Amino acid sequence: MMMNTVSRGVRLLPAIFFVIALQALFDQCRSAELTIRRSSDDQLPVYNQTAENLRSILVDYFRHPRHHHVGAEYKANARKFIAETFTSYGLEVETHIFTTDNENYNGTNVIGILKGDLAGTAHDQISLVGAHYDTQRTMTGIDDNGSGVAAMLEVARKLTEDKCHRKYTTIFVAFDIDVMEEEVDAFSACFTRITCGCSPFVTEWLYSYLDNSMGAVLKGAILLQAIMNYDNRPTSQEFTDKENFPEAFDAITNDGNRGNFLGVLGRSFDSDLANAIMAKWESLPESKYKIYDLELDIEGVPTSLDQVKYQKYLMGDHFNFWNEEYMKAVYLTDTRDSRIVPMRCVDNICDDIGVITDENLIFLAKSVQMLTDYLYDVTETDPNNCYKELDLKETINEKVSLIVKTGQSKSDGGMRLGGSVLVMMAAFFTAFLRH
């Protein structure tokens, strides 16, 4: 009886050794996770890799009109690309379908959620980056607003590539049917603003998400619209509002009225958000690309008097956040039509692929890095808890090689059994890595 018990115990030894060795291997791999804050390719002055990624996104998916009547197929392709890109970066993807001013057309907002460790709790402090992906009928919308969507997707890539743990959540959203147009025919769908893409997103989807997160708060929203048009020639910028933006007016005038800057539009209420973002810009290379604070004297929700006084500054997506209690938001823009760049129009189609120049791409890439750095900090991403899949596999490969050598050396004499288990384990991991 005792001999049978011993015999069964001996037969269990390989499994026991296997489990012990397996645990040791994974402990060593976890301890070898790399401390990587951000990849270094974009710290170069020319932001090469991000600029080329942006070029590919714009050329492949945002060079044609994306209107629900003119270019519906291109808009559908862009929407699919956005969702698939979010998915490939490991974001939780949702679509938000909403009604418009035209019963024949619904809109589809695409949402990607990069969850933090506190996601789903009242302690989560959510950041949001948004950009609309549709266009006017006669615009291919490279700058307005392919640039905003491309930048948003690149920020998502850079935040997820190092697989770092973060405390707080970031939401990325691509808005549909967000370009306002007059009710001129049966195809108009966004002409009262409250039905345009960003508005129902805030009132329907965002509030629901916050409620389901046990009362989590929106720390700040960053809206991107037309952010790659750079022109350093004198008198290329129209900027006449000295009353509301005296500091920016003086700086632009003294610089020869050049369209060489990114504008950050916000209220007094949003000043901490705007300042934090601009501080990241100022810390980056390529100082020829400037940034100016465009702060309106508004505290909280704009009053009826504010809406009359600042009407032309309240037409973007940011207003939908400003119109809600306690929601902070800033609007990033190259000032669009106020930047006097000759607009290429072919067959009545404007804002086309000619906007994609090396200089404009670097300008856009700097915005990407600024937002990445800001979100990295505000979400309290842990730089000591990051790794890359490739690096982890390389670490496992090194451990497997060591196991093989150990197993071979121990397969002589009384350690033959343990050595065989180690060799068997090495073969298992080698096969795993090949897949």
Helix (H, G, I), strand (E, B) or coil at 256: coil
Mean pLDDT of 411-417: 45
Per-residue model confidence (pLDDT) at position 86:
98
Closest of 180, 165, 148 to residue 320, by C-alpha:
180
Check whether 151 has a pLDDT greater than 60.
yes
In which order are the strands placed within the sheet that holds 261-267? 92-99, 106-114, 170-175, 125-132, 217-224, 329-333, 261-267, 290-296
Check whether 241 has a pLDDT greater than 50.
yes
Check whether 18 has a pLDDT greater than 90.
no
Higher pLDDT, 106 or 27: 106
Instruction: Encode pLDDT of 365-408 as tens digits.
Output: 999 999 999 999 999 998 888 865 544 445 555 555 554 454 44
For the chain, give the mean pLDDT.
83
Q: How many C-beta atoms lie closer than 10 Å to residue 1's C-beta?
A: 5
Per-residue model confidence (pLDDT) at position 76:
97
Confidence bin at 37 (pLDDT 50/70/90) = very low
Instruction: Encode pLDDT of 285-322 as tens digits.
Output: 889 999 999 999 999 999 999 999 999 999 899 999 99
Helix ranges (DSSP H) in 72-147: 72-88
Instruction: Encode pLDDT of 248-283 as tens digits.
Output: 999 999 999 999 999 999 999 999 999 999 999 999
Instruction: Encode pLDDT of 192-202 as tens digits.
Output: 877 789 999 99
Per-residue model confidence (pLDDT) at position 336:
84
Report the residue count for the chain: 435
Q: How many C-beta atoms lie closer than 10 Å to residue 412's C-beta?
A: 9
Per-residue model confidence (pLDDT) at position 17:
52
Weakest-pLDDT range from 191-195, 352-356, 429-433: 429-433
Q: Are 386 and 36 in contact (CB under 8 A)?
A: yes
Q: Are 144 and 336 in contact (CB under 8 A)?
A: yes
Contacts of 25 (CB under 8 A, 6+ apart): 396, 399, 403, 425, 429
Closest of 182, 168, 173, 142 to residue 155, by C-alpha:
173
Instruction: Encode pLDDT of 126-150 as tens digits.
Output: 999 999 999 998 888 999 999 999 9
This prediction's pTM:
0.80
